[in-house]
Homo-oligomer: A and B are copies of this chain.
Amino acid sequence: MTDSANPIREIGVALLGLGNVGAGVIKLLEENAAAIEARLGARLNVRAIAVRAFDKRRRVEVDASLLTTDIEGTLARPDVDIVCELIGGTTDARTAVMTAIAHGRHVVTANKALLAEHGREVFAAAEAAGVDVYYEAAVCGGVPIIRVLREGLASDRVEHIHGIVNGTSNYILSTMTATGRGFADVLAEAQALGYAEADPTLDVGGGDAAHKLAVLVGLCFGTAVDVHAISTEGIDTVEPIDFRSAERFGYVVKGLVIARDHGHAIEARVHPTLVPKNWLLADVPGAKNALYVHSYALGASMYYGAGAGMLPTAMAVVSDMIEISRNMLARAAGARAMARPFAQGQRPLLPLDDIRSRYYLRLAVVDEAGVLGRIMTILGSHGISIAQVVQDESAAADGAATTHIFVITHEAREGNLRSALREIDGLPVVQRPTVVLRIAGAGNNGNAGKQ
């Protein structure tokens, strides 16, 4: 199968969509054509690019004869071996991917929403049709985390993961940490700089992260979960005062996805989290992504890099094309047992009340004698034990009559904490609902940090 043994073979590729990532794919295929041909012993040839409209401005120049609005026709072309789905969303993309598979085409997709919501259907169809579906770009952009989990850790058993998988949120939180500015202010700047979308909901609300988490759960634990049932909290609720007190307690606020295999159920959650400063995850800057994995044999490992962007994402897509081509050249495409995600069917999510975590609480209370004692008593009566308490001496935002109490708890069951807080927030001396942030490193991952 080397270039010396056979004449150079052509592998036909069709792109569906020519936005940011599509433009990067074209650019990378052109720039690295010689290197890819040398490594592969074959040429990746773009045969068609399906677009919605011909006259849109593109980030890359392409031969106009390649452009078409006929997706159906593109998928049916006999000279197309690999279909690269870059449409996004779960309606047109789903139809296109399922049709491509039905036509016997191999598929590369960067579409986390599609895989999170219809992954079982897609992979089952691919297996039945004997085609490959690769999706490295769906999680952490160019960081090859899918290959790491599927092949690098094939002999291992993942116990839990902690990840920063949304670059926009990490950019905003990092900037808030560095500058002390508020969420709305930093978001507006991120939008002006192009780091955040005009509608940032999917990024800052945690929906995008939940999609990626569902894909990771599928791969790490072999199981599908109901992505819409994943507990998802956005980063927009964290206030500058919480960044400052997190810092004082030795933490950095990061938007994390967290998952853990409990056997009967899967713990999966997306929320702003206090990360201990000595964790490598605490140092992930700007719009970067990182996944921290804890597995039985390897222990702690971490994978870090660009989670978005034209060239990083395109790099993952083209590497997938190369992988499928290697399979094709060995006449093994669709035939390798691929540790199919979701292979074990669906498992329930662990109810949020049943997770165990340490917690950061910020209580706004009337500044009078005895308040702290009453709150501590209620927490204690619900089995919540306290690691640290700090009462804010400075005047609170609501005026001199109100003060802040900051509490760091030991590990506790979330249901118990919620019961205690219902009681506490009902006290007349408590001015506003208590702010609650979870702290990373609880549960049975005592050494989920650097070591």
Interface residues of A (CB under 8 A from B): 1-2, 24, 28, 32, 35-36, 38-42, 127, 136, 142-144, 147-148, 151-157, 278, 280, 283-286, 288, 295-306, 309, 311-312, 314-316, 318-319, 321-323, 326-327, 329-332, 335-339, 343, 450-451
* Complex CA–CA separation, A321 to B156 (angstroms): 13
Q: Which of B143, B286, B312, B450 contacts A285 (CB 8 A)?
A: B450
Chain B residues closer than 8 Å to A286, beta-carbon distance: 450-451
Interchain nearest-CB distance for A371 vs B (Å): 40
* Interchain CA distance A329-B332 in the complex, whole Å: 9
CB A403 to nearest CB in B, in angstroms, measures 36
Please state if A329 and B322 are interface contacts (CB–CB under 8 Å): no
Q: How far is the CA of A318 from the CA of B329 in the complex (A)?
A: 25
In the complex, which residue of chain B has the Cβ closest to the Cβ of A323?
A: B151
How many copies of this chain does the complex contain?
Answer: 2
Q: Are B280 and A283 in contact (CB under 8 A)?
A: yes
Whether the pair A335, B337 counts as a contact (CB closer than 8 A) is no
**Is the CB–CB distance between B155 and A318 below 8 Å?**
yes
Given A300-B306, A332-B335, A319 and B151 contact (CB-CB distance below 8 Å): yes
CB distance from A36 to the nearest CB of B (A): 6
Contact check, B327 vs A312: say whether CB atoms are below 8 A apart.
no
A222 → B minimal CB distance (Å): 8
Cα–Cα distance between A48 and B332 once the two chains are bound (Å): 29
| Residues on the B chain within 8 Å of A323, using CB | 151, 154
Q: In the complex the two chains form, what is the Cα distance from A36 to B330 in whole Å?
A: 24
Q: Indicate if the CB atoms of A283 and B283 lie closer than 8 Å.
A: yes
CB<8 Å pairs between A and B, sample of 14: A1-B336, A32-B157, A36-B155, A40-B337, A142-B298, A143-B152, A143-B298, A147-B147, A147-B151, A155-B318, A288-B300, A298-B305, A299-B312, A303-B304
Q: Is the CB of B312 within 8 A of A306?
A: no
Alpha-carbon distance A402/B146, docked complex (angstroms): 58
Bound CA–CA A365/B302 (angstroms): 45
Distance of A376 Cα from B302 Cα, bound (Å):
44
A38–B343 alpha-carbon span in the complex (Å): 10
Evaluate contact between B306 and A304: CB separation under 8 angstroms.
no
Contacts of A283 in B (CB 8 A): 278, 280, 283, 450
Bound Cα distance A326, B32 (Å): 29
Judge whether B153 and A144 touch: CB under 8 Å.
Answer: yes
Task: Let me know if A144 and B155 touch, CB within 8 A.
Answer: no
B336 touches A285 (CB 8 A): no
State A24–B299 Cα separation when bound (angstroms): 14
Give A282 Cβ to nearest chain B Cβ, in Å: 9
Chain B residues whose C-beta falls within 8 Å of the C-beta of A38 in the assembled complex: 343
Contacts of A136 in B (CB 8 A): 152
Determine the chain B residues whose CB is within 8 A of the CB of A329 once the complex forms. Answer: 335-337
Pair B330/A335 contact, Cβ less than 8 Å:
yes
Residue of B nearest to A148 (CB): B144
In the complex, besides A142-B156, A330-B332, 11 extra interface pairs with C-beta distance below 8 angstroms are: A2-B337, A28-B155, A36-B155, A39-B339, A142-B298, A144-B148, A155-B322, A285-B450, A288-B450, A299-B306, A330-B337
- A310's nearest neighbour on chain B, judged by CB, is B297
CA distance A149 to B337 in the complex (A): 22
Contact between A301 and B297, CB atoms less than 8 A apart? no
CB < 8 Å: which of B147, B301, B311 contacts A298?
B311
CB nearest neighbor in B for A338: B326
Question: Is A326 a contact partner of B336 (Cβ separation < 8 A)?
Answer: yes
Task: Give the most central of A42, A286, A327: most B CB within 10 Å.
Answer: A327
Bound CA span A343–B2, Å: 12
* Min CB–CB distance A13 → chain B (angstroms): 12
A153-B35 contact, Cβ under 8 Å, with A298-B142, A301-B305, A330-B336: no
A361 to chain B, nearest CB (A): 29
A309: chain B residues at CB < 8 Å are: 299
